[in-house]
Structure 1
Amino acid sequence: MKISKHVHSCLLVEENNNIIIIDPGEYSSLDVDALEKLDFILITHEHADHMHVPLIKKAVDKFPDVKIISNSSVAEILGKEGIKVLTEGNEFIEIEAMPHEKVLGKTPENVLFRVFEKLTHPGDSHSFDSTTEVLAMPVQAPWGSFVNSMEKAVKLKPKIVIPIHDWHWTEEARKGLYERATSYLKEQGIEFKAIETGEVVEV
């Protein structure tokens, strides 16, 4: 499996000739024009930092056969734009309702994705109690903390942690915190893999 990160929580996954985008939000650096193929878009919830409607519309315009998988609230929002959304997974994309952590105002529906039984992307949740060998872990948010995310990773014991939901930090802050995370998780037998924007890693 190849994974690249495109700012914040947006990941591009390549596996078995499938190209999958997860959480293409408003901070995403993803260049749809540079893609030659796109099979699936997975959206964990409706917040703009995870679902940027103009970016999704651009992707659908270029790849009209792309399948979008999310929850019912996202389906309703995108349905108003004439975009169909599936609310069930398939043989290699598992979708599970997972509570969004508490925020000020309305708390949206949130889903967790497991992709090819290898990558777990929980959206805006720390409430899940299992993971695949690669965990995309939200590390910074109004609803959670860096320490909580690291403690959760140690509890669940993935082989690899890829940090997501980190746009709000400066580059200097990320560097310092990720150095600490690398050392801390290594002691627990877990690899912390901080992917640079656009960098492709194989897991």
Structure 2
Amino acid sequence: MRLTKHGHACVRLESDGNVLVIDPGSLSGPGVLAGATAVLITHEHDDHIDVDQLRAARESNPALAVHTHAALADTIGAEVTAVGVGDTFTAAGFTVRVVGGEHAEIVDGLPGCPNVGFIVDGLYHPGDSLFVPAEPVDTLLVPASGPWLKLGAAIEFVRAVKPSRAFPIHDAHLSEVGIDSFDWWLDAKGGTDYARVPLGGSVTV
């Protein structure tokens, strides 16, 4: 499959003419849903779902499939498929396994909202979570920044998942210095093949 990195937590996966987009949020940039076959949304926060952009994409393409957890599916509207932890389904020709369940805590139990991770043909997008799945992961999309995350926890997450390779996401809040620091530490201490996909860049995984 071909992976393209968009702003913050959004990636596009392409294979055999199908396009699967994960977490097209308010920081993802314009046009991320153009040509999409299906969309996966980990949770409700606007840096992971731009409701207006999603609505416009579905109006122009009524066949666009959208999958997310039940509470968010109910608020988005009709024709959204609710999925839960343990489910396995097909989206845009990819096999998707749902894992996790809860957003990582910031403080005092907040934000306390559902968050589902998606393992797509061996590629794991955890959303805002450091949930370690039981099944093997070939490619890990590791969060790089957030009010719920510290660098050491990101390194420990990569070590626990033990992927063959890891690429950073969730990085819109980092400065250039912060990005360089995160990349140095993950490359040195993550214990896997780590690399940054540039914004708008693509890799084959």
User: TM-score scaled to structure 1, two decimals?
Assistant: 0.88
Instruction: Give the alignment partner of residue 126 of structure 1, picking from 124, 130, 134.
Output: 130
Say whether 1:145 aligns with 2:140. Answer: no
Q: 1:99 corresponds to which residue?
A: 102
Q: 1:90 corresponds to which residue?
A: 89
CA distance in 2, matches of 1:72, 1:93: 16
8 Å contact kept, 1:100–1:108: yes
- Alignment-mate amino acid for residue 89 of structure 2: N
- Alignment-mate amino acid for residue 198 of structure 1: G
Q: 1:84 to 1:97 in 2, by over 3 A?
A: farther
SS in 1 for 2:177: helix
Q: 1:19 corresponds to which residue?
A: 19
8 Å contact kept, 2:24–2:32: no
User: TM-score scaled to structure 2, two decimals?
Assistant: 0.87
Q: CA deviation at 1:42?
A: 0.2
Q: CA deviation at 1:98?
A: 2.1
Instruction: Give the alignment partner of residue 166 of structure 2, picking from 151, 158, 161.
Output: 161
SS in 2 for 1:172: helix
Q: What number of residue pairs does the alignment pair up?
A: 194
Q: How does 1:2-13 map to 2 (within 5 A)?
A: 2-13=2-13
Q: CA deviation at 1:30?
A: 4.2
CA distance in 2, matches of 1:196, 1:110: 26
Q: CA deviation at 1:161?
A: 0.8
Q: CA deviation at 1:111?
A: 0.5
Q: 1:177 corresponds to which residue?
A: 182
Q: Which runs of 5+ in 2 are unaligned?
A: none
Higher strand share: 2
CA distance in 1, matches of 2:100, 2:16: 26
More displaced, 59-68 or 170-179?
170-179
SS in 2 for 1:98: strand
Q: 1:57 to 1:202 in 2, by over 3 A?
A: same
8 Å contact kept, 1:45–1:70: yes
- Alignment-mate amino acid for residue 7 of structure 1: G
SS in 2 for 1:154: helix
CA distance in 2, matches of 1:139, 1:177: 7
- What is the RMSD computed on CA atoms of the aligned residues? 1.8
Instruction: Give the alignment partner of residue 56 of structure 1, picking from 32, 51, 54.
Output: 54
More displaced, 90-99 or 144-153?
90-99
Q: CA deviation at 1:97?
A: 4.3
CA distance in 2, matches of 1:61, 1:175: 40
